Amino acid sequence: MASYNRVILMGNLTRDPELKFLPSGTSVANFGIAMNERYTDKQTGEQKETPCFVDVEAWGRQAEVVNEYLTKGSPIFIEGSLKFESWETEDGTKRSRLRVRAFRIQLIGGRRDGDEMDGGYADAQPAAAPTQSESFSEPPAPDASQAPTSTEDDIPF
């Protein structure tokens, strides 16, 4: 029997990531994300939102990047798989949950405290960015000595 277990989610962190290290030195980050489903109520015509909350775990370098660059409210894009967990509490109650194990994480927000998140992947180094003190300015006017020659001016496109 064939099976396929792939999840693609985009939402915002519901809490700051928790970074832990296994005895082997491998890092793991646990965090939650929330997505909103928007729809129009057919009876009232009113726009409504229903939230969906998902627990996520990231491993290795991705876990470290999530912990370093993301906080509660940060937007994130995740590709991963569903992982089913079940356990029994001390009082004998059986519990279970679905969690997403992230394969690929993309940071989709803007800056936070001067850090650059410009859409890079969590397994890549963040790109260097211009400082906030730099501002947009018009390009300099062309120099008269760089004016097009008559042959360049004759081209119709």
- List, for residues 85-101, the tens digit of each pLDDT value: 999 999 999 999 999 99
Token pair for residue 92? 């004998």
Q: Which residues of the chain have pLDDT under 70?
A: 110-157
Core vs surface per residue 77-99: b (16+ CB within 10 A) or e? bbebeeeeeeeeeeeeeeeeeeb
Q: What is the DSSP letter of 94?
A: E
User: Tokens 């940060």, residue?
Assistant: 74
pLDDT value for 87: 93
Token pair for residue 107? 């940071």
The alpha-carbon radius of gyration of the chain (Å, integer) is 24
- Separation of alpha carbons 18 and 30, rounded Å: 5
Residue 26's contacts (CB-CB under 8 Å, 6 or more residues apart) are 59, 60
Q: Indicate the pTM of the whole model.
A: 0.66
End-to-end CA separation in angstroms for the chain: 59
- Separation of alpha carbons 102 and 121, rounded Å: 12
